[in-house]
Amino acid sequence: MTPALRAPELMTTPAMLTMTAVSRRYGNVVALEEVSARAYPGEVLGIVGESGSGKSTLLRMMNLEETPDAGDYRLSLPDQPGNLFDLDRFARRMLCATRIGIVYQNPHLGLLMRNTSSGNVAERLLIAGERSFAALRSRARDALDASEFPLARMDARPVELSGGMQQRVQLAKAIALEPVLLLLDEPTTGLDVSVQALVLDTLKRLQRDRAITMVIVSHDLGVIRTMADRVMVMRGGRVVEEGLADQIFQDPQHEYTQQLVHAKL
Amino acid sequence: MTLASLTRPWEAMSYGFLDASAKRELRRKMLKAIAVPGCQMPYASREVPMARGWGTGGLQVTLTLLKPSSVVKVIDQGADDSVNAASIRSFLAKVSGARETWDTLAATLIQSRHRIPEERLRADQVLVLQVPNPEPLRPVEPNMSHARQMHADADYGRLWLILYEEIVRAGRIMQGAAYPALVNGRHVMTPSPIPRWDVPKLHMARHLTFLSAGREKRLFAVPPFTRVEPLVFSDLPYRVEDHAGLTCHRSGMKSFFMNEIPQADGGSAHELSDSHLGIKAIRQAEGGRAEIGPTWYRDGRMR
């Protein structure tokens, strides 16, 4: 396993994720206005902002669930697929299934609630072409184990599990194919504080062990502070401030960032 | 020139019941279905003198294929003598002048509900299967538009997931009939509710098979010598019903697909599902003339 890079080293390596001048409007509402973002290999990029600031829209763009009005999106992949927004539906689906993992705030968006937990993980593997039942079981078990899910319950249905366990199943599903990019959309919202801490611990361990590039969206500055190497602050569909996590939290420059940080503190 | 010379005498109905435009549309869709094996083709599905769900899809395809020299066999769950099969067969003969038969070897056109005859079909025979639900993705995607997109993308992961879940929960695949099969390596089809026993008969078969759903207004085809591969995991082989050790209590035939008949003592007797094969076996045993053709299975194993 490659050890995760820390912030100062990050800037010297080519970015894993590069988004350039991405804009999106819904009628008269500006969801994103010329937003650019970079995430480096092994880095955790935190995106914070109030509700409606565009952070979840940006994450959906990164997961190719939406196409912007304008903009460019590239991942550093061996096959160099170019601007990912130009890919057709099939290529997008395969890329998302095999190279990008996502954990949603609402497990109903990410899981088949009436299938088994191991089946949810196996679905990813099946899309990628795995056709051996023994291999499906073994790889699903490994992914669930890596996300610290109790293996005795691997064939329980998510609908029978607690919120924290459902998030672990989502995480196992997201990492089953060892993605290059893991997107986390408010992964701990709605969980009680002790479970939040356990899920964050699991994420940090995964990030440390596997050096996955992560993008985490949250309105909870505590989560961002715990997880992120770099932070982007968004408001009204624009990036108002961006920098190393310590810098943002210790010395916020933008008035809105100052309000956010002080409101939290 | 008179009007009479330009027109034909009045007839109660068109040849083969369906009017020319309906048959033309069906022929086009059937040709398309042959061109893209296993891909569902929508069609208008005309009214026929039979309720939807009773084989109207199969009937329309059969009516389109009929010609005066056709020899028609109709079976319902393997039986030639069920009310539905007999009614459809006599209707087909009445509207086309085609000859009726119960014998698989004599037939040129076989319409079937839920079975494929046990005698191997030839290249000059056409099989028409009645299909209640043509969409294999229906259990995982009720939205038809999304299901069409999934077919276009060959997105069958959720279908495989059903099989995975069945093995996890029950230790084996529980799908008894309509077992999903990949046709020509591209489209997954439901081979109508034929038993698992019959699915291998479609693989690289010499005959042409049409599958048609009248209520759902879709048809698809398996052309001759086309791969039809049931979805199975690489380490868990496809299994047909375990009828290899069963004997028909009427004909004495062994190792074919059987119907189970509960007995008063709580046990079961079995009889051949392919009823006319049983009749031929009984005739042979009684010293009569009956030719039994080569069968797909021998001793309960696909040949």
Model ipTM? 0.86
Is B155 part of the contact surface with chain A (CB cutoff 8 Å)? yes
Is A69 part of the contact surface with chain B (CB cutoff 8 Å)? no
CA distance A76 to chain B (A): 25
Q: What is the mean pLDDT of chain A?
A: 90
Pairing of strands B187-189, B297-298: unpaired
Class of the CATH-defined domain B20-229: alpha beta
pLDDT on residue A1: 41
Is A138 part of the contact surface with chain B (CB cutoff 8 Å)? no
Is A155 part of the contact surface with chain B (CB cutoff 8 Å)? yes
Cα gap B1→A253, rounded to integer Å: 98
C-alpha distances out from residue B52 to A58, B48, B131, B149, B280, Å: 49, 9, 11, 27, 33
Q: If DSSP codes are grouped into helix, strand and coil, which group holds residue A217?
A: strand
Is B157's CB within 8 Å of A127's CB? yes
Is A218 part of the contact surface with chain B (CB cutoff 8 Å)? no
| Contact indicator for B187, B38 with CB cutoff of 8 Å | yes
CA distance A93 to chain B (A): 9
Is B168's CB within 8 Å of A116's CB? yes
pLDDT band at B11 (very low <50, low <70, confident <90, very high): confident
Is A201 part of the contact surface with chain B (CB cutoff 8 Å)? no
Residue B287 has pLDDT above 50, yes or no: yes
Q: Smallest Cβ distance to B168: which of A89, A119, A123?
A: A119
Q: What is the pTM of this model?
A: 0.88
The pLDDT tens digits of the residues spanning B174-206 come to 888 999 999 999 999 999 899 999 999 999 999
Rg of chain A in Å (alpha carbons): 18
Q: What is the mean pLDDT of chain B?
A: 95
Mutate which: A117, A130, A131, vs B, most B CBs within 10 A: A131
Is B164's CB within 8 Å of A132's CB? no
Nearest CA in chain B to A91: B153
In which residue ranges of chain B is CATH 3.40.50.11310 found? 20-229
| Contact indicator for B49, B92 with CB cutoff of 8 Å | no
Structure tokens at B264: 């008063």
The B residues from 167 to 186 touching A (CB cutoff 8 Å) are: 167-169
* Helix spans in chain A (H): 7-10, 55-62, 89-99, 107-110, 117-127, 133-146, 163-175, 193-210, 221-227, 245-250, 255-264
Structure tokens at B150: 């999934």
Inter-chain CB pairs, A–B, below 8 Å: 47
List of chain A residues whose C-beta atoms are within 8 Å of the C-beta of residue B167: 133
Torsion over CA: B160, B162, B168, B171 (sign): negative
Is A90's CB within 8 Å of B233's CB? no
Structure tokens at B137: 């993705």
CA distance B153 to chain A (A): 6
Q: Smallest Cβ distance to B164: which of A90, A119, A127?
A: A119
Is A123 part of the contact surface with chain B (CB cutoff 8 Å)? yes
Task: State the DSSP H helix or E strand holding residue A30, giving kind and residue range, or none if neither.
Answer: strand A29-39
Burial B101-132 (b: 16+ CB within 10 A, else e): bbbbbebbbbbbbbbbbbbbbeeebbbbbbbb
Of the candidates A185, A163, A175, A147, the residue with the CA atom closest to the CA atom of residue A55: A185
Q: Smallest Cβ distance to A133: which of B152, B155, B164?
A: B164
Length of chain B: 303
Taking residues B146-155, report their average pLDDT: 94
CA B234 to chain centre: 27
pLDDT on residue A5: 52
Q: If DSSP codes are grouped into helix, strand and coil, which group holds residue A34?
A: strand
CA distance B149 to chain A (A): 10
User: Residue type at A79?
Assistant: D
Is A126's CB within 8 Å of B160's CB? yes
pLDDT on residue A50: 87
| Contact indicator for B196, B241 with CB cutoff of 8 Å | yes
Q: In this structure, how many other beta carbons lie within 10 angstroms of the beta carbon of residue B139? A: 12
Contacts of B182 (CB under 8 A, 6+ apart): B38, B156, B188, B227, B228, B229, B230, B231
pLDDT on residue A199: 85
Q: Smallest Cβ distance to B233: which of A112, A119, A133?
A: A133
Residues above pLDDT 70, as percent of chain B: 100
The pLDDT tens digits of the residues spanning A56-99 come to 899 999 999 999 999 999 999 888 778 999 999 889 988 998 99
DSSP per-residue codes, chain B: --HHHHSPPP-SSBTTBS-HHHHHHHHHHHHHHHHSTT--EE------SS-TTSSHHHHHHHHHH--TT-EEEEEETTBSSSHHHHHHHHHHHHHH-PEE-S-TTT-SEEEEES---SBPPPTT-EEEEE-S---TTTTT---HHHHHHHHHTT--HHHHHHHHHHHHHHSS----BS--EEETTTEEE--TT-BGGGGGGGTT-SSEEEEEETTTTEEEEE-TT--EEE---TTS-----S-TT-B-TTT--BSS-EEEEE-TTS-EEEEESSHHHHHHHHHHHTT-------BSEETTEE-
Contacts of B286 (CB under 8 A, 6+ apart): none
Is B165's CB within 8 Å of A90's CB? no
Is B239 part of the contact surface with chain A (CB cutoff 8 Å)? no
List of chain A residues whose C-beta atoms are within 8 Å of the C-beta of residue B153: 89-90, 93
Is B168's CB within 8 Å of A126's CB? no
B164 HSE (CA, 13 A, CB side): 30
Is A126's CB within 8 Å of B164's CB? yes
CA A51 to chain centre: 18
Is A176 part of the contact surface with chain B (CB cutoff 8 Å)? no
Angle, nearest 10°, between helix axes B20-35 and B56-65? 100
CA A83 to chain centre: 20
Q: Smallest Cβ distance to A119: which of B155, B165, B233?
A: B165
pLDDT on residue B127: 98
List of chain A residues whose C-beta atoms are within 8 Å of the C-beta of residue B182: none
Cα gap B52→A50, rounded to integer Å: 56
Of the candidates B1, B160, B13, B203, the residue with the CA atom closest to the CA atom of residue A131: B160
Taking only the tens of pLDDT, chain A with its 265 residues reads 444 555 555 556 789 999 999 999 999 999 999 999 999 999 999 999 988 899 989 999 999 999 999 999 999 988 877 899 999 988 998 899 899 999 999 999 999 999 999 999 999 999 999 999 999 999 999 999 999 899 999 999 999 999 989 999 999 999 999 999 999 998 888 778 888 888 888 888 888 888 899 999 988 888 899 899 999 999 999 999 999 999 999 898 888 888 888 875 4
The pLDDT tens digits of the residues spanning B228-270 come to 999 999 999 999 999 989 999 999 999 999 999 999 999 999 9
| Contact indicator for A19, A71 with CB cutoff of 8 Å | yes
